[in-house]
Amino acid sequence: MIFADFARALAQLGDPRFRRVLWLGIGLTVALLVLAYAGLLWLIEWVDPGGLELPVVGQVTWLGDLLSWGSLLFMGVLSMFLMIPVASAITSLFLDDVAQAVEDAHYPNLPVPPRVSFLEAAKDTVNFLGILIGANVAAFLLYAFVPFLAVPIFYALNGFLLGREYFQVAAMRREGRAGAAALRRRHLGQIWLAGCLMCVPLSVPLVNLVIPVLGAATFTHLYHRVAAGQR
């Protein structure tokens, strides 16, 4: 059923509201990656003015490296690690538009839900990013003891956190915060699995640019499916 939810989301990718959020998301993603990489180059040059060499990029020369072709490749690799927190930010900020497009196309008889304010969405995003970053920092300590389990731990942890966030935000539009949390607990297994399935393409450069929108749509379908089973 999770794959059916994803297939329905994929079939709606041509929707103008999907495309709008997709381009906003791509712009935000690229901006965040450039800022993160620029900050990294600045920090390296500040710590070691003599110049440190990075893989692909070579010797760091700040602005010149930021604009080089090597930087594009390096940012593609960087995106494999940053796209999960970036995806959560995009989902929280723009989910309402994607979810409404899904509901208009597939659940047209539903009443229009109250819109979550930008400030409320931003607050939830910041809180979740703090949890996500903290959990992954703690996981790095675990990787040192069981390096052969680093990959499955990474996907299991981030799949749990991302699935929790996607579903919570999708369900909260109609169930409220407490109702969404209760529904999430009852269906934790498939929400976790769906989150893990979203994490895998988020680690693939370029493909990961589309996944936040498809993930938001997929979890909107997942919410309506499990909510219908509770009625």
pLDDT tens-digit map of 161-187: 889 888 988 898 888 888 888 999 999
Tell me the residue range of the domain where 207 lies: 2-230
Distance CA 18, CA 103 (A): 12
The predicted pLDDT at position 58 comes to 52
Write the CB contacts of 157 (distance below 8 Å, at least 6 apart in sequence). 135, 136, 139
Higher local confidence (pLDDT), 69 or 41: 41
User: What is the count of structural domains for the chain?
Assistant: 1
What digits encode the pLDDT tens for the residues 7-22? Answer: 999 899 888 888 888 8
